[in-house]
Structure 1
Amino acid sequence: MSMFENIGIAGLGLLGGSIALSVKELGLSKRISGFTRSPKTLERAISLGAVDDGLLNFEEFIKDVDFVVLSAPISANIELARIIGRQKPSLLFTDVGSTKKEIVKMVEDFFPSGHRFVGSHPMAGSEKKGIDQANPFLFKGKTVIITPVSNCSPSTIETIEDFWRKIGARTVRMDADTHDDLCAYTSHLPHLVAFLLVSVFSEKMDKPNASACIGAGFRDTTRIAASDQEIWSEIFLSNSENILNAIEKFKEHLNKIEDMIEKKDAQSLKNMIEKIRKIRSTI
């Protein structure tokens, strides 16, 4: 049974396209409309069957939809949310951005009490991008963090959670500040470290047979360094305070291990690695 008459997906990249395909696969909406500023992307999304139709104008796009998922970059999602607030403030909508504090605060300040927005962050994705990488099963078994907004209507949280569960995800509620703090350590710092590992190695790439020394460890650790520069520069700046705190903490741990190596303190190194190994085995 359909949850919606016409769901709108604003942003037709990997996440937006995967949501659209999931909705289509499960019949959760009678129609699926897409919004993008790229005519080529819209044409491709329609040809793949991800959306039934679409528009390049957001104001026109939201007129005939009853639920919108904002799947554009963070700053674009915030601007699109403002348009919803001006034009259709009672519309049910969520976003899938990797940071939450900015959009939650904007909605709390800009929308009237009783609005129908709740933030979402699917802990799913890929270093790949674009509608051609979309996968209808991307969210199956994954966690989606739900960030409620203090002045939203009481039923909004349950409706958004039900939507994600229907496409196979688990949901966890968390306030926006806690979300951004934790994700700085579990997602944003790891991406930053992966970028820097590749950058450091690039200074050795002119050495003969340098690539022969690349094994599974380096490839696995740096897979996410192939991620999109536009998306990740926005994430780093959007969550800058928490990421800077995470960088400082990382420096502290790096300084400790540097000191152990300089002193050739084998026992301390073994103890530290063993402690970390045990923690990792529980994750």
Structure 2
Amino acid sequence: MEINLHLGIHKTATTYLQDQLTLSRDLLKNNGIQYFSLSEMRSGLTQAIRNKPLDVIQHILRETIQQEKVILSDENMIGNAGEIRKGINYKPISDVIGKIRQSLPESKVSVLISLRNPLEFLPSIYCEYLRHNNFVSYENYIANQKDALNWEKLLTPVINSNRDINFLIFNFDNFRNNKKEILKAISFNSIDRYSNNINSSRATLSTKVIELLSNFPETSKELLTVIENLNYVFGDKFKPYSEQELRKSKEVYLSQLNNLSKLKNTEVFF
């Protein structure tokens, strides 16, 4: 059995990819590939992988998997916007990979993950947090991010402790150029184009919208739902960092990707 384990991260067009896989479900099935839709993952499988004992996870997977090739895709397997606020930056990733491997020890597992410049990622995941929680300021949200996010520090020990797993890392900052490659990789080379019927992912909020939400902290979540349902977009995109800070962060980020690409069982798509 082969398993493609797609772990996100958040705000890297994961929903866009998942929507395409859902549209192509019949094609995947005809090619002997089983895809668990995001709704199926969120209805129980993701939480089981995160929280249930190994024997329960193994039972669920063995009962539900019906093909020799399987796609498991949900960024919530390794974290969520609330955990990022707490400074828990996808630390469950090693545990999740271990549970999948131990539950299906005969399987060949490949891990696919998209990364982005931390100073672009944090404002975006902050906006996602506001969609599901009462208002907090950006400064409050990132208070536990003392060193921002270090993808190299997070992933190197995970990769080194799973030498028999292939890790495919995609640079979301260059998504326009590598989006075809990630779709092919995640679909076992079954899909190489995107449908025009897929909706774009939700954009980062504007500074004006965030200022408006700050005036109604106890009902900000509901207010934001109304604003987005009306497609009432106004003002410039929320950008809490200067261009100089973004450039410096990008240099560090690309250096980290380069170091990750030197690991034996890792391929990085820049």
**Shorter-chain-normalised TM-score: which range?**
0.3 to 0.5
Higher RCO, 1 vs 2 (CA within 8 Å, ≥6 residues apart): 2
Decide which structure has the larger Cα Rg and report it.
1
* TM-score, normalised with respect to structure 2: 0.37
